Structure 1
Amino acid sequence: MGCNRNCGLLTGAIIGAVLAIFGGVLIPLGDYFVSKTIKKEVVIEKGTIAYENWIVPGSPVYRQFWIFDVQNPAEVMNGSRPILQQKGPYTYRMRYLAKLNITQNPDNTVSYMLPNIARFEPTMSAGTENDTVTCINLAVVAAPALYTNNFIQLLLNTWIKSSKSAMLQNRTVKEILWGYKDPFLEKVPFPLDSTVGVFYPYNGTSDGVYKVYNGKDDISKTAIIDSYKNKRNLSFWEGHCDLINGTDGSSFPPFVKKDSILRFFSSDICRSIYGIFTSDQVVKGIPLFRFSVPSAAFASPLINPDNMCFCTDPVVSKNCTSAGALDISSCKAGRPVYITLPHFLFASKDIQEAVEGLSPNKDEHETFLDVEPTTGFTLHFAKRLQVNLMVKPAPKIQTLSKIKEPYIFPLLWLNETAIIGDDKAEMFRSKVTSRINMLNMLQIALIIVGSVMFLAFMISYFVCRSKEFK
């Protein structure tokens, strides 16, 4: 009887040990099968999960615009510091159409164009497109940057005055964003496009051609841009600043780690940029890693020497000691456009103090991407940036003659955001997250149950053995 009992206890202990060992074996085995499945499904080709989500945005992409309204226009045109108040948001649905001209290339890349469409969403906006704001005059302020010759500027001054234009103007939100016929440019007796707008032309155009790796031959290169507009360099900057690095931000190669640096290219700011891990997030039941664009990406070259090649105008940027503003005039046909984070977040004091009314807030104004680490898919993001014009003294142009020194004048800021839709989230949970979680739970359960069984039966066995010898 004692022998049978002892044999049963040993058998139970052996079964427990086998279960624990099997649970341990499942860890590398499970990782292998997960890795194999993911490597198959994240390739950008027909029939994969990645391809279906890649062709059409997995969730609506919205752009919210806040326009800066000048509160003291008369004083500003006499050389005083602008007092600004933001109006908005004015919300548009963006890029909700499928990619265009998708072509699978023989070198394991895929080419495509991104369609540009903006549709106003009144229910998500604080006003209408016909709201009027007092803002900087795009054509007048840009003119002396484009034409530096004194004689030409005298002619410009004549046309500006005859069109009754000034440094500031009143325009509707729709005009500022998407374009309007400028009265000053219509006076210029040369053939040129007199329509101007911050995002003119946009609707009906397309961005690209993008050519990205599909990951078929090397999963670590999935979605990374090989070329943009048939070039691997931008021709705007010097050295490494001019390289097109990373993806377009909608996805990254799979198996993202917390110490990864996620690089992505944005045609809006004419440069590549990067994000670093800042926090864990859970969106609609899906665990994600948040990567945020750090202050170092906009730091002065004195703080971050890697940024020296973004410093193109040492005079304006105080011999490159200022931080937080990117001169992108070279990719805007010479127009003095500067990109910053909203409300001059991370910008130097000399930039911030040139205007009044801004309140930088990291939570509201930083750019981030929430990435599912196993697949590399971006399931939630917020791209935030501010569009500004550089205003400089121009003695030959009357309306700009009272400006004391160059400063960056905010025009608007935007928040482009998207979050995975409920249907897509359910699909993602069922096909990816739940399977990985189930495998992990099975591994843990087998190890715990097996270990507990082994210990319990072994303890019972030794207790029984000790009683038999007494």
Structure 2
Amino acid sequence: MMLPFQNSFVRMNYVKILLMSTGAIAVGVVFAGFLMPKIIRMAMKMQLRVTPGTMTRDMYEKVPFALDFSVYIFNVTNKDEVLAGGKPILQELGPYYFEEFKDKVEIVDDNEEDTMEYDYRNTYQYKPERNGPGLTGNEFVTVAHPLLLAMILSINVDRPELLAFIQTAVNGLLRNPQDIFFTGRLWDLLYDGVVLDCSSEDFEVNAVCSEFDSGDYAEIRRINETAFSFSMFGNSNGSSIGRFKALRGKKNIRDLGRVLEYNGLIEMDAWYEDECNEITGTDGTIFPPFYEKEEGFTIFIPQMCRAMTAEYQRPSKYAGIKTNQFTLSFDVTKYGSPNCYCRDGEFCPPEGLLDLYPCVGTPIAISAPHFYKVDPAVLEKVIGLNPDPEKHEFFMNFYQFAGAPVEAYGRLQANFEIVPVEEVPYMKDLQSMYLPLMWIENGVGLSKKYTNMLKYQLIMGLRIQKLMKYGCIIGGVVGLIIGAVAGFLQSENESNETRSISAKSDAVLVENPNVQSIEVASN
């Protein structure tokens, strides 16, 4: 006697089930597993390339949202002790909040090369309502004087015999400063401008003012016949950071956004080996898709004269999207010592610092804020810093398949490499140290509008593809098993029926021997 479920199997058309199951597996493997990913990739390639007329091109030319740009200043609360050789006590003031807008202008396309050239602009809008509690920008501060220190320390490294010359120029421009600090209204230094007096008839002052008039210094602008102004952000606001030539990704999507030239140069001329001068990576506003996490993401940063690669750290999540987190380090000791990022190929900065002197001609070192992941000996030279990875690490959360950074915050700190200078009275007793000036946080987390675009236009399609692939394969395998079982049971049932009929016939012959006699007689 058959069980009820066996009766169901016996009634099935197992041949049809086997054929349908085989078809489902074929759909899962060939269509959902092979063709659909190719179709999705092809569609992505067409959408992501930055040729004219694509949505990506519009976003590449003008980032359609503002980025956060926050400035933190280090106020020195014990300048007299510092001038006498003591450790600076630093008080962090911030954030001072700006919205940053990025766009590209003067664009020229070359269809044959699949490239575009453009000037890259950053424009800032101050939003004081989003400053730290009680901060307006009118605070009276004492901070490392960026122009004074840049002029004196640069000459001390490169041409120490001209220290008397540059000191005379500084005295005229800044009206006889008595120390290395700017003491005054913060907003003058950041935005409105500090006046540089060029009215002196001294040759040294006139020589430096003529250099300022060259237009090579974005932070300095002329305000009248005898004066310039210096500001860290105000004078350069909205100006181009340089002219780029980049690939559009039509011929090869993995080249999307890759910078080929900067200001007409195919390589920089700052470092001591060709490898370090290489121009590569994107400008940071776009990244190619389909990269493996081990490859990282490379950004060309002209202000640092080099490309830097963000390296994979851990899986992460943003707005319900599974991402990978990458971090960027300014440490150059990982390349060995000495290496081509070492000054003159010999002087290597401490761990966690990038010496920018070969790039900008000023002894400035870049680090993570608060000397996070910097040699502890550097941190010991100052008081008031508290490194915290949550606040001070440079990170990017990528949805890697699309090359989409859904959240990214670049964090860096500018530090002057201070050394005692015997020829300058207010610098002769200084301790050797890296003196922080400020740190900046720049980035954004995508709003719901853009994360939903990613979720519903790409991620959902990929999920449907995976569901179809594995659903068809698993369903097909289950169908094959059911079909095989049904076929087996039906075969067994037919055998049983045949045996039953045979047994019944034998039984009839046994019970009615006359039947057998008639059959024999008829033969």
- Normalising by structure 1, report the TM-score: 0.89
- The partner residue of 1:189 within 166, 190, 205 is 205
Shift of the 164–462 alpha-carbon distance from structure 1 to 2, 3 Å rule, reads: same
- The partner residue of 2:413 within 368, 371, 386 is 386
- Residues 43-442 of structure 1 aligned to structure 2 (within 5 Å): 43-96=49-102, 98-106=103-111, 107-126=113-132, 127-147=135-155, 148-149=160-161, 150-152=163-165, 155=168, 159=172, 163-178=176-191, 180-182=193-195, 189-190=205-206, 192=209, 193=212, 194-199=228-233, 201-239=235-273, 240-294=275-329, 298-300=331-333, 303-305=334-336, 308-312=339-343, 319-320=347-348, 322-332=350-360, 334-404=361-431, 406-442=432-468
Matched position secondary structure for 2:417: strand
Shift of the 306–265 alpha-carbon distance from structure 1 to 2, 3 Å rule, reads: farther
Shift of the 164–151 alpha-carbon distance from structure 1 to 2, 3 Å rule, reads: closer
Shift of the 52–436 alpha-carbon distance from structure 1 to 2, 3 Å rule, reads: farther
Q: Which residue of 2 aligns with 1:31?
A: 37
**Deviations 1:221-256 (CA, angstroms, capped at 9, x unpaired):** 111001111112221112111111211122222212
- The partner residue of 1:454 within 480, 483, 486 is 480
Residues 74-83 or 442-451, more deviating: 442-451
**Deviations 1:104-138 (CA, angstroms, capped at 9, x unpaired):** 11411011112221111223211222223221122
Retained in 1: the 8 A contact 2:10–2:486? Answer: no
Retained in 1: the 8 A contact 2:198–2:206? Answer: no
Q: Which runs of 5+ in 1 are unaligned?
A: none
Residues 360-369 or 144-153, more deviating: 144-153
State the distance in 2 between where 1:186 and 1:386 align: 35
Residues 238-247 or 451-460, more deviating: 451-460
Retained in 2: the 8 A contact 1:163–1:183? Answer: no
Whether 1:11 and 2:22 are equivalent positions in the alignment is: no
**Deviations 1:48-71 (CA, angstroms, capped at 9, x unpaired):** 232132122143211111111112
CA RMSD of aligned residues (A): 2.8
Matched position secondary structure for 2:480: helix
State the distance in 2 between where 1:92 and 1:255 align: 33
State the distance in 2 between where 1:3 and 1:308 align: 76
Q: 1:47 deviation in Å?
A: 2.8
Matched position secondary structure for 1:418: strand
How many residues are paired up?
A: 460
Matched position secondary structure for 2:339: helix
Residues 64-73 or 373-382, more deviating: 373-382
Shift of the 446–15 alpha-carbon distance from structure 1 to 2, 3 Å rule, reads: same
Shift of the 231–9 alpha-carbon distance from structure 1 to 2, 3 Å rule, reads: same
Residues 121-130 or 209-218, more deviating: 121-130
Q: Which residue of 1 aligns with 2:3?
A: none
Residues 416-425 or 83-92, more deviating: 416-425
Retained in 2: the 8 A contact 1:156–1:397? Answer: no
Residues 427-436 or 59-68, more deviating: 427-436
Structure having the larger proportion of residues in helix: 2
Matched position secondary structure for 1:18: helix
Q: 1:290 deviation in Å?
A: 2.1
Shift of the 306–264 alpha-carbon distance from structure 1 to 2, 3 Å rule, reads: farther
Q: Which has the higher contact order (CA 8 A, sep 6+)?
A: 1
Residues 448-457 or 175-184, more deviating: 175-184
Retained in 1: the 8 A contact 2:141–2:184? Answer: yes
Q: Which runs of 5+ in 2 are unaligned?
A: 1-6, 213-227, 497-523
**Identity percentage over the alignment?**
21
* 1:101 alignment partner AA: E
State the distance in 2 between where 1:213 and 1:54 align: 12
Matched position secondary structure for 2:205: coil
- Normalising by structure 2, report the TM-score: 0.81
State the distance in 1 between where 2:234 and 2:66 align: 22
State the distance in 2 between where 1:78 and 1:417 align: 39
Shift of the 201–336 alpha-carbon distance from structure 1 to 2, 3 Å rule, reads: farther
Residues 239-248 or 176-185, more deviating: 176-185
Retained in 1: the 8 A contact 2:410–2:443? Answer: yes
Shift of the 365–238 alpha-carbon distance from structure 1 to 2, 3 Å rule, reads: same
Shift of the 205–363 alpha-carbon distance from structure 1 to 2, 3 Å rule, reads: same
State the distance in 1 between where 2:371 and 2:337 align: 21
Retained in 2: the 8 A contact 1:163–1:184? Answer: no
State the distance in 1 between where 2:21 and 2:467 align: 17
Matched position secondary structure for 2:184: strand
State the distance in 1 between where 2:67 and 2:184 align: 26
Retained in 1: the 8 A contact 2:408–2:445? Answer: yes
State the distance in 2 between where 1:154 and 1:90 align: 32
Q: 1:436 deviation in Å?
A: 1.9
Q: 1:293 deviation in Å?
A: 1.5
* 1:138 alignment partner AA: P
Matched position secondary structure for 1:68: strand
